[in-house]
C-alpha cells in the first residue's frame, strides 16, 4: 500500500461491504461527491470527500477485512494478530476503538490489553501534527480516487474533469502550505514521532504540489531525512523524478509515467540511463521497472524502449511544451 499511495493510477476499485456494517462503499461516496460538486455544494463535497480514502483503505487492507471475518468465526487470537498489524502500520489508531465492527470485543479482557497497547502507541506521537497530516492525506488521496473514478466512468464529461482538476490543484496547494510549515518548524518528522501514515503525508504533499521551486527546496531536506531514517529512499526517488519531469528533463528512477496520452497510450517518461534503471531502483528499495509498469498496464521492454527512445522523447517534449504554454 505504501508505494501505491503516490502512484495514484494504480488504485483498483473494489465494491466490498465492509464487514457487518453496511455503510456506503468508496464508489458510492465518490458518486455522492461528484453530485455535490456539480451542484456547487462545497461544504457537502468536502465532508464526504474526507470519508472516501479511509473507506477505500478498509475495503482494501487485508488485515482489516480479515479481522472482521475472523471475529465472525470467533477466532479471537487471529483477530488480534490482524488488529496488531494495523496498529503497527498506524492505520485507524483512533477509529479501531470506536469501530462498530469490533464492538463485540469490548467486554473481553483481551480487548482491554489491546486497547492499552494502542493507547500507549498513541502516547508516543505528537498527535496534533499527526491528526493534521491524517486529514491532509484523506483529502489528498480522496480527490485522486474521485478523479480516477471519473476518468474511468465518465471521460466524456470534460466540464467535470476541469472542475475536479481545479479542486485537486486547490487541495494540493493548501496541503503543501500546511506541510511546508510543519517541516519548516519541526524538520522532517519521522515515523517514531508522528506514525507511518503521517510521515508519508509529508512526502505526498510535497510530491503533489505543482511547483518545482517548492519541490526543489525540500528535496535536500528529504535526502537528509532519508539518511536519518526519518523518510524512505523510495520517496526521494519519486520526488527526484517528479522534479526532473516537471522541468522537462529525463528521469532517473523510472517512477513517472504518462498514462493519459490519447494518441499514443501510456508510456514511461524518458530515462537518463535505461540500462542502469533497475539497479538504481533497487538501491531505492523499489521493484523492477517491469513489475512497476505492470501496475499501469504499460509493457516494459528495454530493447524496444531504446529503439523507440527518439519517438518517446519527442512525445514527452511536445507534452511538456503544451503544458507550459497552457499554464
What is the reported pLDDT for 212? 87
Among 3, 10, 76, 88, residue whose Cα is nearest residue 257? 10
Kindly list the averaged pLDDT for each block of 10 residues, start to end, along the chain of length 327. 44 34 83 94 95 96 97 97 95 94 95 96 97 96 95 89 94 96 97 95 94 93 97 97 95 90 76 98 97 89 94 92 80
Report the alpha-carbon distance of residue 112 to residue 98 in Å, rounded: 13
> How many Cα atoms are found within 13 Å in the side-chain-facing hemisphere of 175?
29
Among the listed residues 215, 227, 143, 211, the one whose alpha carbon sits nearest the alpha carbon of residue 183: 215
* 244's grid cell: 526532473
Q: What is the pLDDT of residue 18?
A: 36
Give the integer Cα–Cα distance in Å for 105 and 102: 6
Beta bridge partners of 251: 271
pLDDT at res. 191 = 95
H or E element, residue 267: strand 267-268
Q: Quote the DSSP letter at residue 101.
A: G
Angle between helices 42-60 and 62-72 (to 10 degrees): 70
pLDDT of 215: 95
Whole-number Å distance between alpha carbons of 60 and 319: 34
Amino acid at each position: 500500500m505504501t508505494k501505491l499511495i503516490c502512484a495514484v493510477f494504480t488504485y483498483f476499485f473494489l465494491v466490498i461491504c465492509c464487514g457487518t456494517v453496511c455503510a456506503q462503499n468508496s464508489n458510492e461516496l465518490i458518486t455522492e461527491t461528484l453530485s455535490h460538486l456539480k451542484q456547487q455544494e462545497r461544504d457537502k463535497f468536502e465532508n464526504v470527500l474526507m470519508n472516501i480514502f479511509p473507506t477505500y483503505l478498509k475495503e482494501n487492507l487485508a488485515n482489516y477485512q480479515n479481522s472482521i471475518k475472523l471475529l465472525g468465526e470467533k477466532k479471537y487470537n487471529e483477530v488480534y494478530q490482524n488488529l496488531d498489524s494495523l496498529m503497527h502500520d498506524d492505520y485507524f489508531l483512533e477509529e479501531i476503538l470506536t469501530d462498530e465492527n469490533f464492538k463485540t470485543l469490548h467486554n473481553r479482557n483481551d480487548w482491554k490489553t489491546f486497547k492499552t497497547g494502542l493507547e500507549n502507541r498513541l502516547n508516543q506521537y505528537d498527535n496534533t501534527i499527526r491528526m493534521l497530516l491524517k486529514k491532509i492525506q484523506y483529502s489528498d488521496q480522496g480527490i485522486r480516487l474521485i478523479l480516477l473514478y471519473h476518468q474511468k466512468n465518465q471521460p466524456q464529461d470534460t466540464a467535470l474533469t476541469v472542475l475536479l482538476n481545479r479542486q485537486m490543484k486547490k487541495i494540493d496547494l493548501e496541503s503543501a502550505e500546511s506541510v511546508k510549515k510543519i517541516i519548516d518548524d519541526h524538520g522532517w518528522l519521522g515515523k517514531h514521532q508522528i506514525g507511518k501514515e503521517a510521515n508519508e503525508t509529508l512526502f505526498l504533499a510535497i510530491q503533489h504540489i505543482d511547483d518545482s521551486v517548492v519541490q526543489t527546496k525540500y528535496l535536500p531536506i528529504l535526502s537528509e531525512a532519508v539518511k536519518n531514517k526519518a523518510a524512505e529512499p523510495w520517496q526521494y526517488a519519486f520526488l527526484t523524478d517528479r522534479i526532473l519531469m516537471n522541468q522537462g528533463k529525463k528521469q532517473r528512477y523510472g517512477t513517472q509515467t504518462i498514462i493519459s496520452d490519447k494518441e499514443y497510450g501510456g508510456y514511461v517518461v524518458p530515462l537518463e540511463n535505461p540500462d542502469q534503471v533497475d539497479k538504481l531502483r533497487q538501491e531505492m528499495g523499489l521493484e523492477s521497472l517491469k513489475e512497476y509498469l505492470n501496475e499501469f498496464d504499460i509493457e516494459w521492454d528495454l530493447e524496444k524502449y531504446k529503439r523507440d527512445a527518439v519517438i518517446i522523447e519527442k512525445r514527452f517534449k511536445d507534452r511538456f511544451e503544451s503544458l507550459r504554454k497552457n499554464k
